[in-house]
Amino acid sequence: MPSILVTGATGQIGTELTLALRERYGDDTVTAAGHRREPPNNLATGGPYFSLDVRDAAALDAVVSQQKITVIYHLAALLSAVAESQPLQAWDINMNGLLNVLECARKHNCQVFFPSSIAAFGPDTPAFDTPQDTVQHPSTIYGITKVSGELLCDYYHRRYGVDARGVRYPGLISNQAMPGGGTTDYAVDIFYAAVRQKHYECFLRADTQLDMMYMPDAITAAIQLMETDARRLAHRNGFNVTAMSFTPAQLAAAIQQHLPDFTINYKVDPLRQGIADSWPRHMNDSAARAEWDWQPQFDLPAMVADMLAQITAKLHNA
């Protein structure tokens, strides 16, 4: 049985991944670590929780030793838009945090999951059918930390045999914890606005097409990749994965199928529009499909139907 540590456990992915891992492997085998001193209720009651800053190498090492950790899902990071407003802090958290995790993994012989992103690509990458192996010249500090992270994970595998693996997530849509300062956050915010006030003011242009994925598929991707027999993996880090690709206008139209009164207007934020314009429109994820059987379950209509149902119930019960 693995003993798992999830860093960034109170974040958008971490909240749901921690619960899914506890469900799969048992509550006590999954240690959640977040920067909040007090964890949210669902994480506190279900299993071990530590308040941890991943930049503190000694504190990280102490948790890994104490909990006899064998697998680390390292999710603690700043997202694209917030990173752009504080580049030095983004470098510090995203890169030094990862380096500390990889050093810990080397010392304690742990497996590591590192989420990269569509942000690891840049304006000179082919925007459609973006290949697995292609030009990676990101123009954001977040993207630079993601492509550097992919390289660092590959280096620790090649140099020290650390079993580091990862995917390039697209925009993630979820209904538990909110995303914290990303460019694709509009695709989450729009659902709360649609249910609450039947109107959304979007910070990206109507025709901004980006890859997206519903959180249940993102969770499956992480666990499935980590459980795959290493002998099948030609790549290890930065697997392209996507489930759907749409524009704000197309998402609004899909919501209108359920809520005909829903309206949208556009007030473009130049920072986030510039970031989105530098990213691919639709990635090719055939390497993930071939090497570890990646297969998303949710397309746009299925995701929209489930999001609206979940958020309506959540706001009703609030």
Size of residue set near ligand SER by CB under 6 A:
11
- Phi then psi for residue 4, to 5 deg, are -110, 140
Query: Applying CB under 6 A, which part among 164-172, 198-206, 248-256, 290-298 lies near ligand SER?
Result: 164-172
Residue of the chain from 10, 15, 67, 117 that contacts ligand SER (CB under 6 A): 117
**168 has which bridge partners?**
116, 240
Asked if 184 is part of the footprint of ligand SER (rule: CB under 6 A), the reply reads yes
Nearer to ligand SER by Cβ, of 47 and 170: the residue is: 170
Q: How far is the CB of 161 from ligand SER (least distance, A)?
A: 28
Query: What CA–CA distance (Å, rounded) separates 181 from 89?
Result: 14
* Token output for 212: 């997206």
Nearer to ligand SER by Cβ, of 80 and 132: the residue is: 80
DSSP H or E segment with residue 33: strand 30-34
Asked if 171 is part of the footprint of ligand SER (rule: CB under 6 A), the reply reads yes
Scanning residues 50 to 89, which ones bind ligand SER (CB under 6 A)? 79-80
* Torsion 272-275-281-285 (CA) sign: negative
Q: How many Cα atoms sit within 13 Å of 291 on the Cβ side? A: 23
- Percent helix, strand, coil in the chain, to 5, is 50, 15, 35
Query: Applying CB under 6 A, which part among 65-73, 181-189, 200-208, 295-303 lies near ligand SER?
Result: 181-189
Catalytic residue among 142, 169, 200, 214: 142
Q: How far is the CB of 61 from ligand SER (least distance, A)?
A: 28
Nearer to ligand SER by Cβ, of 47 and 143: the residue is: 143
- Indicate the burial class of 173 (C-beta count within 10 angstroms; 0-12, 13-18, 19 or more): buried
Scanning residues 127 to 156, which ones bind ligand SER (CB under 6 A)? 142
Known catalytic membership, residue 142: yes
Query: Applying CB under 6 A, which part among 92-100, 176-184, 216-224, 307-315 lies near ligand SER?
Result: 176-184
Query: What CA–CA distance (Å, rounded) separates 249 from 9?
Result: 32
Q: How far is the CB of 50 from ligand SER (least distance, A)?
A: 25
* Cα Rg, the chain, nearest whole Å: 19
Nearer to ligand SER by Cβ, of 29 and 245: the residue is: 245
Asked if 119 is part of the footprint of ligand SER (rule: CB under 6 A), the reply reads yes
Helix 57-66 / helix 97-108 crossing angle, nearest 10 deg: 40
Q: How far is the CB of 182 from ligand SER (least distance, A)?
A: 3
Instruction: Extract long-range pairs of 44-48: CB within 8 Å, 24+ residues apart.
Output: 46/18, 46/19, 46/22, 47/18, 47/22
Q: How far is the CB of 148 from ligand SER (least distance, A)?
A: 14
- Phi then psi for residue 168, to 5 deg, are -100, 100
Q: Which residues are catalytic?
A: 142
Positions that interact with ligand SER (CB under 6 A)? 79-80, 117, 119, 142, 169, 171-172, 182-184
